[in-house]
Structure 1
Amino acid sequence: MEKSNEIAHVNAELIPQDNSADSDDKALSRRRVLEAGAAALALLMLPKLAFGATCPGGNPPNERGWFGSENGSVVHHGGNYIGVASKTWWWQVGYSWDASQWLCLSFRVFVESIFTDELYDIFKIHVQAKCGDVNTSTGHRIWFSKYKDNYLHFWVSNLGIAGSCQKTDWEDNKYFAFSNENLGGGNRWWWSITDWTDLGYNSPTYLYKRNRDLQDAYFGLGVYVYNVMCGGVNNWTTPDRVFLSGFTSSPDTFMGSDIHARIDKITLDQDMSLFGKIVAIVPDSVKSGYQCLDVDAARQSSGTLVHLYGADGSGANYTQRNFIMGLGAMDERGGITFTIFPAHVKGFSRVLNASGGRSYLEQAARNRTAPSSAQTLQLYGDDNTIAGRFWVTKSVDKNGRYNIISDASGFAFDQADGKTAEGTIVRLHSDGILGSEWSNEAHKWRIEEVFFKGTISLDAERVEPGKTISVIDPSKTCTPYDQGGTGSVKYLYRWYWMKDERESPFAENKYPEAFTLSSWCHLANCGDQIWRDAYAGAGYPVRDTNFFVEAFKLRIKYGNGFIENNADFGSICYAGCMGIENSGDFSWSDVCRDGEELGKGGVSNRITGIKIWLEGDIAKEYDIAYRAFIYGQGWTERFHSNGGSQDDAELCGSDDASGSKGAIKCIQVFAIPKPRGAKLAREFAEDNSFIPESSHSGGYLTAQAMLALNLDDTSGFDGHKMIADAYQGDSSKGLEALPVPPAPPVRVGIKVFYYVDGETDPCFEEEYEMGTTYQVNPDATAAGQKDNCLDLVCWYTDPEYTQPYEPQALDSSLKLYGYNPCSVKYDTTTRSSVLDTSYNWSTDADLGTALDLAALYPQDEIVKYGTKLTFAGPWSAWCEDAGKTRCVSSTPGVYATAGASGSPILSATIKGNTTVYVDWPWSGYDGVMSARS
């Protein structure tokens, strides 16, 4: 007789387990049926997994072969569910007192897949039994359930399942009896066999998420028999003594051993090269390259939908069509999921979100149904849940196209109904069929990096030393730009000075558009990482992990290759302060160049400070900026090296740290193009203007613009998730150099500028002898004083009016600031009802408090010239009229004249001393007939 049967498609083995202590259990609660289902699930997670028989035994007459024939894979294919059932032998026993009486039993676990995608499965599990007898000596069936204690027992172990949920209808303390009493009376010479029965419970469903590794799971079966009818007598009724039992964990029994199966790991991957980039997400079916994912009307609120727009040629030119590829949580494979930030949301407090998250599947599992095939994709607050995490993979597409899959549901980004028209909703979708995502063209996307590009211009053709020159608004000529006006981005400006006249600042550059940096690192607890664009970062600032940068490399990519030891070209150089964690011995490394390894992986090395710079000819055309994510601190500002040596490189981080405190987890490096041989006149700043000094005379000025993310107001924003701080690219390549006239005779004075009321042009300016104490000029105060204002408040050294100027010796130009204060008073129009003294006016309907208009109106106040003021009101007042109470209310807003001419004003910009008038008209008929009418 066979002892076992091979398990198809899996690496399986029969390993005995000792569960003999279970043999004394008498009753099995309905909860154990879940164990049965989970046992089957452990073996049927994946489409290639199936299992065979493990319980050998004899066969009843006319029931030859394996009982249960639905062996196969658990697959959801099209509209059909293909189930799989365990195959077992009949177990049959001949009673020794009467050989004509026989018992037989077969059991199985039947599993059907009702939903499958690339991350999740929902299985419905049925535990079933079938029994029979040959009985010639009694009017009762031999299987007897007097105490409901002939039952099956299932168990499962070592699943390693994450994110499971299920619902069952069973209650505790109920037995899973099997019997054949429903076949009627006995006394038959042939086999009487029941149909398969589910033991009276509703089949549970089980939600499963695959894991990163191969999983080892086993399931076991037990049979317990307490009551059997033989010869008309119930011979075995002792509650504490089992008549017959068998366990798969006992290899010497008739049932064989537990089954072990290895379950395959998750098959998706992440394209780690995308982290830290700002991209457009373009449907592959749109070959023009214009239409892309767009946030509806550039809205920023939770629940806002996304769709396709840009067919008019605008494409990704608006920030609401740009997305920042940020960090999510660790995935099951040891990689990192993506959090996708819409680039137009100020403060970056919104992310793309799968509406309902995983509960979308959990609810379907609880209802024992497959989920709907579409899930809403929306903007939502970054609540750090699985609903905001995505897998971005192209490994399964031979053409390199992307599938973007929700970690919460396994549903993929989808063009609704496969459409590409303007306004087509982009949602999440799955047919619930394993592998169907890869053949669905509506799930295919291109992810294209968005670069800041265009040409800026200046507001003059030449500029005198000491005069202001400004960059004209780049949004008029450069893309992308803040079309929605949300304020999520801002422009930064860098200024250069060149000695020679040039047709274009970059005309003499030897390395145009061909210089990029690549970086690599070894992370503690994570190992070697792939080479990535250096501006996208080496390492990952995952806050809850110990992913410290232990080793680091940089190299120059030029043309189709990499630069190494090229004396004519130059080198990228870097050095770090580092040491072994908790050693207390941290020091600066030797200088590394062109791909040499800084530090060492796998030895608890910690890098706490770094300097990066260029040497050689390439340093004439590029500067370097860099920043780091430091443990316990977060992102640093950008540091720079604007020369050709280590002495020109600023320190990012610290050179006195120890342990892990202050250790670097991510390094970003930026190459900044500049006109060949140009000198930096001013580093990137928000001020678009520049005042050349005398030292710039006889040369040429040019500017460069950067589109940065506005991180000034990021309340509620988890900054470590977003590696990017600016768009790559700049808008200076077409800008001509601006000449600065030759220097005039040696100047003996310096300029002092006076500004009032936030105006950009000075109200007064003068030259003053350098090195002598400068006193405020009364003529400047007179020039700044505006008519119909209070006395000028002046002078301050800052435009916020917090630092009063104190007379001092000047060695450079000076800007002073002041403002005109304006009084604002409230009065009442001459026609107002409340001025009628024949009524006793009150502030309340009970007429208990006399109306005092001076106390009711806002107190007189002083505001700065140009302040926009929203006026108070309206108010109500009451009086007694003809024995009844009458109410009047002031008109919303105020009037500019006591006669209430013109229209009411709700708000206004104050540009002088102002009195506004509140108007109290009599109300229309309110049920009170005036005694005076």
Structure 2
Amino acid sequence: MRSDKNNSEQPADKSLIETPVSRRGLFAALAVAAGLGLLGANDALGWDYWGQNARINQGAWDMYGMINGKINCCRGRSNPTNQCMGWANDWTEWYAFRYAYVQILRYALNLQVECDYENELWFHLSFYPLTACGDTNYNPNGKRIWFAADHDNLGAIKEDEQENNIVTFDGNLTNEELGVGTGRHDTGWKHYQYHDTGKWYRRTSKDVSHRWCADLNIFNIYVEGVSHDETVDALHSQTGWLTSTVEQTYLTSEDIQGIVCRVHAADDDSLNWDVGNASIKDCMDLYQQIFKGNYNQLFLTEFSKVRDDSYFDDWGPVPGFLTTFRPAHVADASCAVNALGGGPWDGKEFNHVANTQPFEINRAGVASRASAWWVTKAFSEGTPLFEDGAVAIISDASGLCVNRPNATQTRPFKLNLFHNGYKGGVAGDRASAWVVEEVPFTGSLSLNDGSKELGAGETVTCSDPLLSCTPCHNWSDVKGNNDGTAVSDFMYRWYFADTDEVPHDCSGASIIGSCHLSNFGDMPDCPAYRHVGMNMSAKMCIEAISLRLDGSPWQGSICYSMLAKGGEWSDAAADGARIGEGGKSLRWSAVKVWLTGEVSQHFDLEVRAFNSNLSWTGGYVSGHDLDFASVNGFGDLKGVNELRCVQVDLIPKPKGAKVLREFSKGSRRLSLTDQELDSLSGRYLSCVVQQVFPTELRSGIDFDSPLVSRFHGSVSAGPVHVGGIKVVYHADGIDDESVVFTETVHAGPHTASVDATSAAIKTHCNLNDHFDEDPSTGFTGWFMDKGLTASYGGSELSTGDELHLYGRNRCTVRIDYAEGSLRPEEGMLFREGASDSAPVVAGALDLVDFARSAETHALDGLTLQAIGDDGVGHKAVYWGERVAPARPRSVYSKRSDGTWRRYVAECWLTSAGGGFLDRVRQGEAGHHALRQVVRGAVRWRRQRKEVNIIRDGGAASVPSPRTSLVGGARR
């Protein structure tokens, strides 16, 4: 008979019933296991089994606090102070009859669960099955009926109430160590031989609870080598379910994708990752090395390709992106920093203690999880490591951190991967603290050794970037692919402009992009020169995108449009407005990006796009609207291609400069054709230089196709003046806004340009004899000085000269009698007052003679020459002067009857005349407005009392025949 007091009701696991197990084998195995149990913690299996303290039939025991809590590693291996739990069953008993005597056999099952290793990504649970067995012997002769046979009883650890087993163990029971004779005998809890009762668990983005139990089947019982199935059924026992929580990971990667960087120790930036002699091998150790600024210590950061299959887990996306570090010296970026030691991800066991593994560069491991890294500013539980941007760099395969042993050493020393196996085990560890620092292309360059002038037939040469730019200078000892020469090159773009302006330092200006990816969601804002989207996963295509300018010192907009897959171009968007919508399965096959406004005068664009069937495509954009912007992505209307990633970067240029030669390698020297020399004569040449890598692959999506194609940053050289002399013509002013014409001429005789004069003349600006007829009669001609005292009749120009000429337009102001006005009458006598003794006014009611007053002119802070064209009823002024006529005084005339009549002037400036002659500067009305010549009118009326002067529209009055201009001419 059998008593299963604590057995589970579920049927025995049929997968365990494979080989008959005899009672002899049962107890022989128990003897071995029992012997192991007597050894110390550092012997045998090396563990203390705290479950041995549990009572038979104790059920769940949690004296160390893991039940329904979070799993964490034990603090001590031989005497853990917390974090283990278990379940102890009651006895399972049955009678064994043999001849005239009987034994009662029994066993009990106990499961201990313990975490014996953990790091930022992985932890290892060990499951220790413990069994107690015994008997009650009724044989008066002291014989035992159990003895060894060559069969096993199999046990299993189950998880989450599933039928499948996560690990198995040998469940052989034996009580042969007990004394012989009648009475009850018990072994107590013992541990047994097992192959592997542990399992690796990877942390996810959320806490996850698991349940475990132990299961054991005793079957095919043998008595003295003879099967007795007909008398003893198979025995099955299972513990209750234990529950605990796998704690979430706190790792979130920094967005460093798409940069060229060096990685240096957080507490000493002279210590860098270094790939030794930079030759390409399948495996090579990495070192900490004093920074030398060469390719051995530079890396390209890319998205890890393993994200294709592993980005999502059962509880949602893992936070952040994994990174690969590709040594910059390797052509096509085919090698990567690799955690060759492996980890639980490929079934290899750690020693469950502080763990150290190799850290190498490996060509073969680029697409493996061993080449995928977390780059995070937080270790466990979001605890910051340092305040200076230090990060931990953690292997996605093993959860181990890149570590520099002997951290105080400044000499070269091999790096390794390390973790001490406890929660937060490397938090605050200076040996595991790194700074990933972007290394841009910077420096200074010149054209023709700094010459300002390009002679006839001269070649323009940009200085050598290897000598004056970083990070590439002084690399004469660097070896590249297969011990070859330099592994990067320089690209040169040549500009021409009308001015000698150099690009401003706009290192603070950038383009910020964001997007929505299919099967992922919104990506955070990122500098668009790095990436908008990602190129490593066919599952993640751009569904929506936005771009905006950041840090630009000039006003303007960035605009963009997307070509729908198999469809049409979208409406243009600008300055952060989004094209597309997430979650709508939208697909795009090409993009256009362009700049508008003042910012477009100072920058061009570099645009790259990763297309699902074409790999990377790229180009440069100088167009300023949708029709002229370049297409990137090579979208086809057949709907084959899909955009995964877009990169957009600013290229600084001189204001308004045009491209003469597009970016190309090996164009450090520029030779101009005769036709180019002719068209560029007098203009300015400059060069923009970039440093590039030979990484771009165009063979399709099966290749890695790295994000990084070059160092970020551009260095400008120049400008240099192309043989020719610049002549600048200023009309009606002396500043830049007064420039009306610019020409470039060759050395030798020169006379003023007719076209410049034509551009300078303003409508109605003429002198009195040609009033309203010929505007050119009012132009002064060209002078060499701003005060118009040195007339320019021509000169001999030499190379290097720059000539500025000045001229002004002159205008005639005229005054006439208005319709109905009184006019002077012969013989009439006018006095200043109504009295015979008042002074006589000569020429009363006559038009004013401006020639009687001293002629003065002042504009732009200069006293200008007299025009000499003043007379009766007309006055000459310069364009831009303000005319302010004075009010005519009243006069009196005595009538024949002895009474006095007063004569009052009514003056105004006619609306037909157009108002004042005045300078209108740029910005007042959005353009330069031309105002016509003042035409004044006077009308005299008789009246008996004082009459106020009539004004039209607030205009000042016209002077009387006896008065001059009030205040003279003024601006």
Paired position in structure 2 for 1:819: none
Q: What code does the residue aligned with 1:572 have?
A: I
The correspondence for 1:595, drawn from 549, 572, 576, is 576
| Displacement after TM superposition at 1:526 (Å) | 1.3
For 1:360 and 1:370, the matched residues in 2 are separated by 17
Paired position in structure 2 for 1:346: 331
SS of corresponding position for 2:662: strand
SS of corresponding position for 2:627: helix
Q: What code does the residue aligned with 1:268 have?
A: L
The correspondence for 2:683, drawn from 696, 699, 712, is 699
| Displacement after TM superposition at 1:137 (Å) | 6.2
Within a 5 Å distance, the mapping from 1:410-449 to structure 2 comes to 410-449=399-438
| Displacement after TM superposition at 1:630 (Å) | 0.5
Within a 5 Å distance, the mapping from 1:868-883 to structure 2 comes to none
Q: What code does the residue aligned with 1:120 have?
A: W
The correspondence for 1:178, drawn from 173, 177, 191, is 173
Determine if contact 1:630/1:662 at 8 Å carries over to the other structure.
yes
For 2:152 and 2:471, the matched residues in 1 are separated by 74
Q: What code does the residue aligned with 1:185 have?
A: V
Determine if contact 1:141/1:184 at 8 Å carries over to the other structure.
no
The correspondence for 1:722, drawn from 706, 724, 730, is 706
Within a 5 Å distance, the mapping from 1:611-690 to structure 2 comes to 611-636=592-617, 638-659=618-639, 661-686=640-665, 687-690=667-670
For 2:701 and 2:273, the matched residues in 1 are separated by 23
For 1:76 and 1:716, the matched residues in 2 are separated by 50
Instruction: Report the CA distance shift for 1:149/1:421 in structure 2 as closer, same or farther (over 3 A).
Output: closer
Offset from partner CA, 1:273-324 (integer Å, 9 cap, x none):
11111111111111xx44322222333333333323346xx5xx32322111
For 1:721 and 1:165, the matched residues in 2 are separated by 40
The correspondence for 2:73, drawn from 63, 72, 75, is 75
For 2:294 and 2:5, the matched residues in 1 are separated by 66
Determine if contact 1:144/1:228 at 8 Å carries over to the other structure.
no
Q: What code does the residue aligned with 2:90 have?
A: W
Determine if contact 2:283/2:362 at 8 Å carries over to the other structure.
yes
For 2:493 and 2:77, the matched residues in 1 are separated by 62
Paired position in structure 1 for 2:212: 219
1:282 aligns with 2:276: no
For 1:411 and 1:136, the matched residues in 2 are separated by 59
Paired position in structure 1 for 2:792: none
Paired position in structure 2 for 1:45: none
Offset from partner CA, 1:168-202 (integer Å, 9 cap, x none):
9x9xxxx73324342122422xx532043334446
SS of corresponding position for 1:588: coil
| Displacement after TM superposition at 1:111 (Å) | 5.0
SS of corresponding position for 2:624: coil
SS of corresponding position for 2:190: coil
Offset from partner CA, 1:425-446 (integer Å, 9 cap, x none):
3222222333212231100011
SS of corresponding position for 1:476: helix
Q: What code does the residue aligned with 1:469 have?
A: V
| Displacement after TM superposition at 1:538 (Å) | 0.9
Q: What code does the residue aligned with 2:657 have?
A: A
| Displacement after TM superposition at 1:731 (Å) | 1.6
1:322 aligns with 2:311: no
SS of corresponding position for 1:536: coil
1:558 aligns with 2:548: no
| Displacement after TM superposition at 1:730 (Å) | 1.5
Instruction: Report the CA distance shift for 1:219/1:141 in structure 2 as closer, same or farther (over 3 A).
Output: farther
| Displacement after TM superposition at 1:492 (Å) | 0.7
For 1:17 and 1:657, the matched residues in 2 are separated by 65
For 2:280 and 2:112, the matched residues in 1 are separated by 49
| Displacement after TM superposition at 1:745 (Å) | 6.7
What TM-score, normalized by structure 1, do the two folds share?
A: 0.62
SS of corresponding position for 1:320: helix
Determine if contact 1:453/1:731 at 8 Å carries over to the other structure.
yes
Paired position in structure 1 for 2:466: 475
Determine if contact 1:390/1:405 at 8 Å carries over to the other structure.
yes
For 1:612 and 1:401, the matched residues in 2 are separated by 36
Instruction: Report the CA distance shift for 1:654/1:67 in structure 2 as closer, same or farther (over 3 A).
Output: closer
For 1:293 and 1:159, the matched residues in 2 are separated by 48
Instruction: Report the CA distance shift for 1:534/1:293 in structure 2 as closer, same or farther (over 3 A).
Output: same
**Greater CA radius of gyration, 1 or 2?**
2
For 1:646 and 1:729, the matched residues in 2 are separated by 26
- CA RMSD of superposed structures (Å): 4.5
| Displacement after TM superposition at 1:573 (Å) | 0.4
| Displacement after TM superposition at 1:592 (Å) | 0.6
Paired position in structure 2 for 1:500: 499
Instruction: Report the CA distance shift for 1:68/1:323 in structure 2 as closer, same or farther (over 3 A).
Output: closer
The correspondence for 1:376, drawn from 324, 335, 359, is 359
Determine if contact 2:614/2:700 at 8 Å carries over to the other structure.
no
SS of corresponding position for 1:481: coil
For 1:517 and 1:186, the matched residues in 2 are separated by 90
For 1:240 and 1:529, the matched residues in 2 are separated by 68
Instruction: Report the CA distance shift for 1:364/1:228 in structure 2 as closer, same or farther (over 3 A).
Output: closer
For 1:376 and 1:177, the matched residues in 2 are separated by 43
Instruction: Report the CA distance shift for 1:341/1:372 in structure 2 as closer, same or farther (over 3 A).
Output: same
Paired position in structure 2 for 1:928: none
Paired position in structure 1 for 2:445: 456
Q: What code does the residue aligned with 1:427 have?
A: N
For 2:362 and 2:656, the matched residues in 1 are separated by 47
Paired residues, what number?
A: 661
Q: What code does the residue aligned with 2:433 have?
A: K
Paired position in structure 2 for 1:542: 536
Q: What code does the residue aligned with 1:467 have?
A: E
Instruction: Report the CA distance shift for 1:441/1:716 in structure 2 as closer, same or farther (over 3 A).
Output: farther
1:578 aligns with 2:564: yes
For 1:457 and 1:218, the matched residues in 2 are separated by 71
For 1:184 and 1:522, the matched residues in 2 are separated by 75
For 1:262 and 1:79, the matched residues in 2 are separated by 21
For 1:715 and 1:141, the matched residues in 2 are separated by 80
**Deviating more after overlay: 317-326 vs 437-446:** 317-326
SS of corresponding position for 2:679: helix
Offset from partner CA, 1:803-846 (integer Å, 9 cap, x none):
xxxxxxxxxxxxxxxxxxxxxxxxxxxxxxxxxxxxxxxxxxxx
| Displacement after TM superposition at 1:604 (Å) | 1.3
The correspondence for 1:394, drawn from 357, 366, 377, is 377
| Displacement after TM superposition at 1:450 (Å) | 0.8
Within a 5 Å distance, the mapping from 1:840-879 to structure 2 comes to none
For 2:560 and 2:5, the matched residues in 1 are separated by 64
For 2:258 and 2:634, the matched residues in 1 are separated by 24
Determine if contact 2:161/2:212 at 8 Å carries over to the other structure.
no
Unaligned runs of at least 5 residues, structure 2: 30-48, 312-316, 481-485, 726-743, 749-971
Paired position in structure 2 for 1:899: none
Instruction: Report the CA distance shift for 1:71/1:96 in structure 2 as closer, same or farther (over 3 A).
Output: farther
| Displacement after TM superposition at 1:602 (Å) | 1.1
Determine if contact 2:88/2:111 at 8 Å carries over to the other structure.
no
Q: What code does the residue aligned with 2:559 have?
A: C
Within a 5 Å distance, the mapping from 1:742-821 to structure 2 comes to 742=725
Q: What code does the residue aligned with 2:178 have?
A: L
**Deviating more after overlay: 218-227 vs 192-201:** 218-227
Paired position in structure 1 for 2:253: 270
The correspondence for 1:119, drawn from 109, 121, 137, is 121
Q: What code does the residue aligned with 1:617 have?
A: E
What TM-score, normalized by structure 2, do the two folds share?
A: 0.60
